[in-house]
Amino acid sequence: MKLREHKSYVRFWTASTTSNFGTYITTVAMQVLVVVHLGGSAVDVGWVSASRWFPYVVLGLLAGVLVDRFHRKTVLVVTDIGRGIILTFICLMTISGVISIGWLLVLLVLFGVMSLFNDVAHRSFVP
């Protein structure tokens, strides 16, 4: 069988790869933003990184139950769009000069919530 015969899988794989690549670039970009633009310390970078993973600790067990109540493709699309909006908001706040470590922590917690639901839906979507 050729991949050309499975267009739905190719679209899913392309979207998933793009999303994962963007997530890893975002991780590096947030650290650079904290250190270079906001003049943050190593502790600030740690807080920013922890805020992105905090929802996994708090909501991790409930996420699977909640995702099971919705169509997984919808969850994947909505959470990717939501993460894009959050990152756009961070960019606009940085350009306008109103970003701070506090705002970044709040926005990355929201980003983490979207990532958590996206990861849970993604794990159960492929099988």
> Which residue blocks in 3-100 are alpha helix, DSSP H?
7-32, 42-67, 72-96
Q: How many CB atoms lie within 10 A of CB 115?
A: 24
Domain ranges of the chain: 3-125
Q: Who wins on pLDDT, 16 or 66?
A: 66
Cβ atoms of residues 86 and 51 within 8 Å: no
Answer whether residue 126 shows pLDDT above 70.
Answer: no
Answer whether residue 76 shows pLDDT above 70.
Answer: yes
Q: At what angle do helices 101-125 and 7-32 cross, to 10 degrees?
A: 160
What is the reported pLDDT for 58?
Answer: 94
Cβ atoms of residues 19 and 80 within 8 Å: yes
Instruction: Please compute the mean of the pLDDT values over residues 8-19 and round it to a whole number.
Output: 83
CA–CA dist 79, 11 (Å, integer) = 17
1-12 residues labelled b (16+ CB within 10 A) or e (exposed): eeeeeeeeeeeb
Q: Kindly report the average pLDDT of the chain as a whole number.
A: 89
Answer whether residue 124 shows pLDDT above 80.
Answer: no
Answer whether residue 48 shows pLDDT above 90.
Answer: yes
| Tokens encoding 7 | 């267009």
Cβ atoms of residues 78 and 95 within 8 Å: no
How much of the chain exceeds pLDDT 90, in percent? 55
